[in-house]
């Protein structure tokens, strides 16, 4: 069988635009004389529409679009992800489904069986699970159709499974001669390699070929890497779609091709590509043409500026230098070197005059109290005021520059440096920011070496260094990784790293700064546990270790 995999970048809620993409892909498949054309999970409305699913008008538009697509079909099959309603006396009656159309109508529907309910996934909130898994005979093949999570429960690969049911095994046991999986699987570093290994084991064990199609692009904080995969019945990866781009590829199950072994690049390359894709898509889908960054002379804002240049082009990136009396000479000169390297526009707007005036106005209300963190935060908030004003006036998309280490322990100022539409590197620890910057400089200097070499500082008081308030980043990031991503508790972290007093302090900072993260810009997700929708803790709580 010849299958066309259409790896598209849908826009959530743009049912008409997504329908056009599906129609164009189907017509291309007919022209290429394929048997079947397949599209990703919820391709018709974008993944995930969240509470839009609750709107009857939204679901009605989806149903209408599905019927229109079905009416366009001829003998060539078309599979796309959609929302289907089938009401019974009990249950929600709304399904995340794969719809198979040919000969001008919907011929078969397979609902999603395994509804993920962890991290960024909350499908149990919206959908009913399939009650059965059936194969469908088409053009001499018995199609076993599944949706994303349905294929992530193979007993031959996973030592511990999340679900009792195995939909794909049910399809194989029912005689499936060809597996189809339509997916919207968010990217995190290592996920593509894991995906390839799992699907390889599954197809080799069950001796059935597989066409796996995934969407690409980004939806707010979630990045989808594409990289659709086709395996033969021996578990060999034979075709793979483009990474972070729309693609169209044909998989002929009778064709013999060389094995594809390299599916994921090094950490630095993957992260850069993912963040550029995420930033670009957020801007494109939100209507922004230009980016704005507050450039401090530090490593974080330098990396965000580089990513913005890759996403927007250097003609569409503008940076602002906002020195105070505490800003070092190097902060300005290093920033100017970066501006020159990236060939971007800039301006310098000092905050000192406004800072002095605000202190003067507030002095009576401060009742003679000595300066403290209040004055430090004032400086950050004046910078936030400047940046938001420029964003409003010129319709710039303001990018925040905080990293994961800072966001974890609250080393950031609400309504100051946290202002912005999207947190570009908030899923990279500080040590990883340095790692990526050094990678960028492997052939020539892009990030000025002085920025990489100097000790990080917020420069909000005389001779300030980050390590005045925080443990060294090498230690801090190890603690945070174990706590946030490996789910280790204090005794396990102390056993491995020692420094109980520091570990206890760091974990307390993480817990008590939940209120800041709840008000933070969405963070582009490149790990399996990012701040945001996938990590939910109460703000007001008295949990004590």
Mean pLDDT of the region 377-389:
97
Neighbours of 483 (CB within 10 A): 20
Count of C-beta atoms within a 10 Å radius of residue 26? 25
132 is catalytic: no
Check residue 330 and give its pLDDT.
83
Q: What is the largest CA-CA distance in the chain?
A: 86
Section 254-279 average pLDDT: 96
Q: What pLDDT, on the 0 to 100 scale, is given for residue 137?
A: 98
Separation between Cα atoms, residue 422 and residue 520, nearest integer Å: 9
Tell which CATH architecture fits domain 2-264.
Answer: 4-Layer Sandwich (3.60)
Mean pLDDT of 318-334: 92
Quick one: how far is CA 424 from the chain centroid? 10
What's the whole-number mean pLDDT along residues 308-324? 97
Active site residue 148: yes
Verify whether residue 112 is a known catalytic residue: yes
> Could you give the angle at which helices 267-286 and 299-312 cross, rounded to 10 degrees?
60
Exposure of 400 by Cβ count < 10 A (0-12 exposed, 13-18 middle, 19+ buried)?
A: buried
Residue 89 has pLDDT above 80, yes or no: no
Say whether domain 270-467+514-518 belongs to CATH 3.40.50.620: yes
Percentage of the chain surpassing pLDDT 90?
A: 90
Q: What is the pLDDT of residues 200-244, one digit of tens each?
A: 999 999 999 999 999 999 999 999 999 999 999 999 999 999 999
Lowest mean pLDDT across 74-88, 144-158, 286-300, 448-462? 448-462
pLDDT band at 545 (very low <50, low <70, confident <90, very high): low
Are residues 202 and 157 in contact, defined by beta-carbon separation less than 8 angstroms? yes
Supply the Cα-derived Rg of the chain in whole angstroms.
26
For residue 468, what pLDDT band results from cuts at 50, 70 and 90?
confident
Mean model confidence pLDDT for the chain? 95
Closest CA to 480 of 186, 471, 300: 471
* Predicted structure pTM score: 0.95
DSSP assignment, residue 305? H
Per-residue model confidence (pLDDT) at position 462: 82
The pLDDT value given to residue 160: 84
Give the residue with greater pLDDT, 536 vs 35: 35
Predicted confidence band at 169 (pLDDT cuts at 50, 70, 90)?
very high
Q: What is the pLDDT of residue 459?
A: 75
Choose the catalytic residue: 6, 101, 148, 230.
Answer: 148
Residues 261-274 have a mean pLDDT of 96
Distance CA 462, CA 353 (A): 18
Of the candidates 303, 296, 492, 299, the residue with the CA atom closest to the CA atom of residue 380: 296
The phi, psi pair for 119, rounded to 5°, reads 45, -125
User: Of these residues, 2, 6, 19, 41, which one is catalytic?
Assistant: 41
């Amino acid at each position: 069988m010849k299958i066309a995999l259409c790896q598209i970048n849908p826009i959530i809620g743009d049912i008409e635009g997504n329908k056009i993409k599906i129609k164009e892909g189907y017509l291309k498949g007919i022209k290429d004389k394929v048997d079947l054309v397949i599209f990703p999970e919820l391709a018709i409305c974008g993944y995930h529409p969240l509470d839009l699913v609750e709107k009857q008008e939204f679901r009605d538009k989806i149903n209408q679009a599905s019927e229109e697509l079905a009416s366009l079909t001829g003998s060539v099959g078309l599979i796309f992800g959609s929302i289907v309603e089938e009401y019974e006396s009990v249950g929600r009656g709304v399904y995340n489904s794969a719809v198979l159309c040919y000969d001008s109508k919907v011929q078969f529907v397979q609902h999603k069986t395994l509804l993920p309910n962890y991290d960024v996934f909350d499908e149990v909130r919206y959908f009913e699970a399939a009650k059965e898994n059936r194969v469908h005979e088409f053009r001499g093949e018995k199609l076993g159709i599944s949706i994303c999570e349905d294929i992530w429960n193979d007993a031959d690969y996973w030592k511990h499974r999340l679900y009792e049911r195995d939909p794909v095994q049910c399809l194989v046991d029912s005689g499936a001669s060809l597996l189809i999986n339509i997916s919207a699987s968010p990217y995190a570093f290592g996920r593509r390699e894991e995906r390839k290994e799992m699907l390889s084991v599954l197809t080799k064990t069950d001796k059935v070929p597989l066409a796996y199609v995934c969407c690409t692009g980004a939806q707010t904080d979630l990045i989808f890497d594409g990289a659709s995969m086709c395996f033969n019945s021996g578990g060999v990866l034979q075709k793979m779609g483009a990474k972070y781009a729309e693609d169209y590829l044909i998989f002929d199950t009778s064709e013999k091709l060389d094995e594809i072994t390299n599916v994921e690049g090094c950490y630095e390359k993957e992260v850069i590509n993912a963040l550029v894709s995420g930033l670009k898509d957020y801007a494109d889908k939100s209507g922004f043409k230009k980016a704005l960054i507050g450039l401090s002379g530090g490593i974080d804002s330098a990396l965000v500026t580089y990513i913005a240049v890759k996403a927007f082009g250097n003609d569409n990136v503008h940076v602002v230098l906002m020195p105070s009396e505490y800003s070092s000479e190097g902060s300005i000169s290093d920033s100017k070197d970066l501006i020159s390297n990236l060939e971007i526009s800039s301006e310098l707007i000092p905050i000192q005059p406004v800072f002095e005036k605000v202190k003067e106005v507030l002095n009576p209300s401060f009742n003679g109290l000595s300066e403290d963190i209040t004055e430090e935060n004032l400086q950050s908030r004046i910078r936030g005021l400047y940046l938001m004003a420029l964003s409003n006036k010129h319709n710039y998309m303001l990018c925040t520059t905080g990293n994961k280490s800072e966001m974890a322990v609250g080393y950031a100022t609400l309504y100051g440096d946290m202002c912005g539409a999207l947190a570009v590197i908030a899923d990279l620890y500080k040590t990883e920011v340095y790692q990526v910057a050094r990678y960028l400089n492997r052939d020539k200097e892009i990030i000025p070496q002085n920025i990489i070499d100097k000790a990080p500082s917020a420069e909000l008081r005389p001779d300030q260094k980050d390590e005045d308030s925080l443990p060294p980043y090498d230690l801090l990031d190890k603690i945070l990784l174990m706590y946030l991503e490996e789910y280790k508790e204090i005794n396990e972290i102390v056993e491995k790293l020692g420094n109980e007093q520091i570990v206890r302090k760091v974990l307390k900072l993480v817990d008590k700064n939940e209120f800041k993260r709840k008000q933070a810009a969405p963070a582009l997700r490149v790990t399996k546990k990012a701040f945001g929708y996938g990590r939910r803790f109460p703000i007001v709580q008295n949990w004590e270790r």
